[in-house]
Structure 1
Amino acid sequence: MLNLIARGASASTTETPGDDWLLPADTIWIDLLNPTREEELAVERALAVDLPTREEMAQIEPSSRLYQEAKATFLTATLLAHSQHDHPTSVPVTFVLARGVLVTIRYAELKAFTIFTARAGENHDLTSGSEVMLELLDAIVERLAHVLEAGSTAVHESSGAIFDRPSGGAFEPLLTGLARTQSVTALARASLVSLGRLASFAGLAHEIADAPACRAHLTSVQHDIGSLTEHASALASHIAFLLDAALGLINIEQNGIIKFFSVVSVALMPPTLVASIYGMNFHHMPELTWSFGYPMALALMVISGIGPFLWFKRKRWL
């Protein structure tokens, strides 16, 4: 899908390029979402640039993700996608600044792009691709901030649930929730680190380097990215602490259960021994003929069972 936003336009338009397709005048943003090969070739002809393929976008080497070629600047970042789903992922997104136009290439729906597209229709002050890119980076960073804020709220609730939880309560939902929050936080932090590298290299683009307002805007974006990266690191550390605390409490409860059964087993050993002795079928057992032999055996079993219990109490093992 090939979406365009022109200077001063109130909404984006969707194009279906053919062999003789020409880029409309005053276009400042070309958004390629799951583009076909024909759409890629049409944009390449219009801007005289060679767009990276999906496989090239997935490369992890900085030289393959951040480079300048044919008077165009190519910037690829790994962004968080589907953060509200059960299985969040990271997807590569490429930003290309060429001839005053921003080209974005992506293969996933991203909420930040949807929000920015609606916002761009109301903002008629955007006049160039570099301004669109900086505003789009703002929207992406803002979206990541919302994700981390939601994660902080979830972690705070999990913290209270773990330490205020009644004995015997289920830990599985808490651990599952923390694990999911940890996954989203890790992906968000990876996105922020990737955006930080992108923002540093973006300053080399002449569209930004030659515009003081764009340089100032980029510096502000970099500060926001740095602050959120620190926040994500602190949140990840807090989650790790809560996971360790939850596992520690589970071990304490399990140790208490094992201790209880161990004490019961030891306490029942002497009565079992007495019962075993008097359960033997030997003819010559003098106690078998005593009239008080049965109550004596019962009393001996009770006393032998109480003895270990009192010993454990004295040693403060109970």
Structure 2
Amino acid sequence: MPPLSSLRPAIRAGRLSVKGSASLLPKLRVPISAYVVDCAVYVDGRRLPGHWSHDRALAEVRSRDDGFVWIGLHEPDEEQITGIADVFGLHELAVEDAVQAHQRPKLERYDDTLFMVLKTVCYTGKPQPSAENEVVETGEVMVFLGPDFVITVRHGEHSSLRDVRNDLEADPEQLALGPAAVLHAIADHIVDTYLGVTEAIETDIDEMETEVFAPRSAVDSEQIYVMKREVLELRRAVVPLGAPVRKLTEGYSSLVPHDVRSYFRDVDDHLTTVTERIAGFNELLTTLVDAVLAKITMRQNNDMRKISAYVAIVSVPTMIAGIYGMNFDHMPELHWRFGYPLVLVTIVVICAGLFRVFRRNEWL
């Protein structure tokens, strides 16, 4: 029988079929370790060797009365995270939010634990004129912060914290500041990702702006609408994070010491920059939408002027032919030998005159 960790994707996706008796079901239960990306114990900013379970790691830290535990989880279900919640004393409402995901960025305090939700974003490419296309994908990172532990819960494939952990482990002095330093590193990493995404979006918007205002360019307004939709989604992920980060800079909890609080001010500054960029993107895209609509209206007006000019030219021979088609006996030049050529010449002269007038007025 394959290891249970290899069955986790199939169980979660519902592709694993169980035939036979129900006695097999307990064997297919996914252990907590299947959802744990990493579990480590840090003392004086350095990682202790060995593989740790969540309960052994916490017992080790509390027996030493020093250091902290950092557990990383990826999309755990309610049953699996409950085992960790019981050991670390996590509040049930925060645990429910961590499992269900789709939360707004926020910061909540439960007794001696902080619960913070951060939205992650990922730039996927230039917008295409289709409703299914996404320029920005979003995920979530939930952080439980306690006096001697940090628990991170990730949702989404692009929200990996492996680089954050590696960078912190390479800087023991920073990691020695405790669990709050991990929270800062995660927030700083995510906000830096916001900066990268906004720079990529700014490049796309600049290209759109050049295309919109280029003469005789074929503008696809659908791309602008797709980009505007994605910018609004980015704003929903970024803007609500401002209040939680500001709380951390102002001493919202004793779990974030003064030494770490100053680092959050830098995160707040970067977040403010991102927020201002997004507001500028939204205004610029609104302007581009108006410009595209104005350009389409002008093109339609030009087309209507051309159509009206040609209708006026065609109406001359139509009118003259209609008059002579009434077949009355007493009509001008009806029985004259040169009457027919004279009427044709008259039609050509009038039409040529109208064409010249419309051309001079730039209708044609």
What TM-score do you get using the length of structure 2 for normalisation? 0.73
Decide whether the 8 Å contact of 1:100 with 1:130 is kept in 2: no
Note if 1:294 corresponds to 2:340. yes
Name which of 71, 75, 79 aligns with 1:30.
Answer: 71
Instruction: Tell me the equivalent position of 1:6.
Output: 41
Report how many aligned residue pairs link the two structures.
304
SS of residue in 2 equivalent to 1:32: strand
SS of residue in 2 equivalent to 1:52: helix
Percent sequence identity is 23
How well do the aligned residues superpose, as a CA RMSD in angstroms?
3.0
Note if 1:106 corresponds to 2:140. no
Note if 1:150 corresponds to 2:200. yes
Segments of 5+ residues of structure 2 without an aligned counterpart are 1-34, 61-66, 126-132
Q: CA deviation at 1:170?
A: 2.3
Name which of 219, 232, 235 aligns with 1:171.
Answer: 219
Q: What pairs with 1:1-318 in structure 2 (closer than 5 Å)?
A: 1-3=35-37, 4-7=39-42, 8-9=46-47, 21-23=55-57, 25=60, 26-50=67-91, 51-54=94-97, 58=102, 65-77=106-118, 79-84=119-124, 86-87=133-134, 88-111=136-159, 113-125=161-173, 126-127=175-176, 128-165=178-215, 167=216, 169-172=217-220, 175-202=221-248, 203-208=251-256, 211-285=257-331, 287-309=333-355, 312=358
Segments of 5+ residues of structure 1 without an aligned counterpart are none
Letter of the structure 2 residue corresponding to residue 53 of structure 1 = E
Alpha-carbon distance in structure 1 between the residues aligned to 2:147 and 2:115: 13
Decide whether the 8 Å contact of 2:85 with 2:95 is kept in 1: no
- Deviation readout 1:78-128 (Å, 9 max, x if unpaired): x24443163245445422211232222232223463542443453333132
Q: CA deviation at 1:258?
A: 1.3
SS of residue in 1 equivalent to 2:56: coil
- Deviation readout 1:118-160 (Å, 9 max, x if unpaired): 4345333313221011011111010000000111111112222
Decide whether the 8 Å contact of 2:108 with 2:114 is kept in 1: yes
- Deviation readout 1:28-85 (Å, 9 max, x if unpaired): 422221113343122212211224214775466x9xx4322131112224x2444316
Letter of the structure 1 residue corresponding to residue 341 of structure 2 = P
Alpha-carbon distance in structure 2 between the residues aligned to 1:5 and 1:295: 102
Relative to structure 1, the CA distance from residue 48 to residue 92 in structure 2 (aligned partners, 3 Å threshold; closer, same or farther) is same
What TM-score do you get using the length of structure 1 for normalisation? 0.82
